[in-house]
Amino acid sequence: MNIPTQYSIDSPFHHNSFLIDGELTIWDGPTADVFSSIHTPNKTGVSAPTHLGSVPDMDEAHALKAVDAATNAFNKGKGEWPTMKVADRIACMERFVNLMKLQRDSVIKLLMWEIGKNLQDSEKEFDRTVDYIVDTINDYKDIDRDSAKFHNHGGVFAHIRRGPIGVVLCLGPYNYPLNETFALLIPAIIMGNTAIFKPAKHGVLLIAPLLKAFKESFPPGVVNIIFGRGRTVATPIMKTGKVDVLALIGHSSSALSLQDLHPKKSRLRLVLGLEAKNPAIIFADADLDKTVEECISGTLSFNGQRCTALKILYVHEDIKEAFLSKFTKAVDALKLGMPWENTLLTPLPEPNKPDYIQELIDDAVSKGAKVLNPRGGERTENYIFPAVLYPVTHDMRVYEEEQFGPVIPVISFSDVDTPLDDMAASMYGQQVSLFGKDVDMIGPLIDTLANLVCRVNLNSSCQRGPDVYPFTGRKNSAVSTLSVRDALRSFSIRTFVATKDNEGNKEILRELLDTHKSNFISTDYLL
C-alpha cells in the first residue's frame, strides 16, 4: 500500500498519561492496545490491523479521583471556575483553542487511522470544531451582554444570568470523536461547570495530543480526562451521585443504563444525542439526478456511520424504477479506498461491523428482499460494500435497527401515509429528507413532518450542520438541544439576584457595581 509519508505510522504511539486535578500524571497500570482496522504488514510481514499504540486502561479508583477533582473544582458553587468573571473564563477558552490549533496535523492523521474517516472529512472535523469553539465564545459574549443589565418589575429589581449546573460527565461517540465530544465539553465548561471526559472506544489516541492544552488552559479540576472502558470508569462515577449533567452522544441503551446508576436521578440533567433512523421520502416529481446525489451522500458519507445518515429510503411507485436504476449504478460506481485517498467509502473502524451488516442483509434476503446492486455485500477484511435492499418490510431487522453502516433499505409507496405512519410509530424522530417539487403536496406534508421530527430537509440530505442551527430529536433520538447557542443554554440554568426596590437596596446595588466585589453582579459590556 502506498501511504504518503506524512500519514504513515512509523512506530506505535504509547500514550501514558491522564489529566486529573490539573496534573498530567503518568499511568503505570494496565494499558489497552489501539489498532486501526486498516491492514498493513506487521513485524513478520503479514498483513494485519495496524498497531497504532496504546492508552491507559484506568480503574475505578482513578475514576473516583476524577469525579472528586471535578466536584472540588466546583466546590459547591464556591470554586474559582464557577465564580470566575465571564471574561476570564473566555480568556482560558481562547488560550485553549490557540493551543489546540497547533495539534491539527496529529489529530487529523489519527482520525484517519483510528476511525477510517477520509482526509477531507477529518480536516473538516478538526476545523469545524475550532470554529465551534470560536462561535461558542462569541455567542457566550452575546448572552453575557444581554444579561449585563437590571430589570425592574413589580417593585423588584432583578439581575438575571445563566449559571453553571455543576459536574458534567462527558461521553462522545466514535464517529465524531473530536467534534461531537467537544460540542458537549466546550459549552459545558465555558458556562462554569466542571467536567470529567472519557474518550470514545475508537478515536481515543487522537485526544492525547490535546491533554497538555487542557492542562495549560484551565484551572485544576475543571477538565479531567481519563481513559478506560465505560463500564469500569463511567459506572462508578455515576454511582457516586456527584454528576449533575450526563452529556452523552451515543446509544440510548448506554444513556439509560448510566442514568439508572445515579442515586438521585431527579437532580441529573440530561444532554443526549442518540440514535436515529432518518428517512428520505422521494416523490415522483423529484429531480432524479439531484435526489440520487443527495441520497448517496445522505446514506453513505462516512459509510453511513452518522446519526444523521439517511437510514431508509421511501420511493414513490411512479419513480421507483428510474430512481433505483440510477441509484444502484451510482452506489456501485463508488470507490473504496484509504482515508488519505479521499474516497467516499473507507474501512470500517469496528472489526465486527461487516459481519453485523452481513447479518442484516442475510435476514432481509431470507424475508424476501433482493440486493439490487451487483457489488452489494462484497467483502474485504474491513469492509462490506453497500447493499441496496428492496423491497424492505417491517419484519426485517434492517427496517427496525439503526444500521450505522453501509446498507440501504428501500421501501416503495403510493400513499404518503405509508412513510408517515412508519415515522409516527418509529422509536426515533430526528430528521427527514423530502424530495419533490409540488408545493400542493409538499406544503401540508411539511406541516405534519415538522411534528414528527426536528428538521425537515427539502431536496437535501439530512445533516447536523451548520452548527448554529438547532440539533435535536424527538422520542429516543435526543434529550436537550445542541447548537452553538442552544448548547450554552443546555449546560446552564437561569439564576438571578432580586431585591425590593427601595433606597437602601439601590445603594447596595450601586456599591456592588462600583466596587466589582461580585463577579455575578456586573453590567460590564464584554467587548
Q: Which positions touch ligand G3H (CB under 6 A)?
A: 175-176, 180, 306-308, 463-465
The radius of gyration computed from the CA coordinates of the chain, to the nearest angstrom, equals 25
C-beta of 197 vs 413, nearer to ligand G3H: 197
- Tell me the CA distances in angstroms from 296 to 75, 383, 406, 419, one per residue in order: 50, 17, 11, 20
C-beta of 477 vs 522, nearer to ligand G3H: 477
Nearest distance in Å: CB 449, ligand G3H: 18
C-beta of 308 vs 483, nearer to ligand G3H: 308
Question: Around Cβ 501, how many Cβ atoms within 10 Å?
Answer: 13
- Cβ neighbours of residue 227 closer than 8 Å, sequence gap 6 or more: 15, 18, 27, 32, 55, 56, 57, 58, 198, 199, 204
- Tell me the CA distances in angstroms from 149 to 8, 143, 244, 352, 512, one per residue in order: 55, 12, 29, 56, 13
**Grid-cell match 459545558, residue found:** 188
Q: What's the CA angle centered on 321, arms 318 and 325, to 5 degrees?
A: 145
Nearest distance in Å: CB 357, ligand G3H: 17
Nearest distance in Å: CB 303, ligand G3H: 12
Residue 147: exposure state from Cβ atoms within 10 A (0-12, 13-18, ≥19): middle
C-beta of 181 vs 492, nearer to ligand G3H: 181
**Buried-exposed string 331-363: b where 16+ CB fall within 10 A, e elsewhere:** bbebebebbbeeebbbbbbbeebbebbeebbeb
C-beta of 129 vs 194, nearer to ligand G3H: 129
- Per-residue cell: 207: 485526544
C-beta of 63 vs 479, nearer to ligand G3H: 479
Nearest distance in Å: CB 334, ligand G3H: 18
C-beta of 179 vs 328, nearer to ligand G3H: 179
Nearest distance in Å: CB 268, ligand G3H: 23
Nearest distance in Å: CB 293, ligand G3H: 16
8 A C-beta contact, residue 302 and residue 179: no
Nearest distance in Å: CB 175, ligand G3H: 5
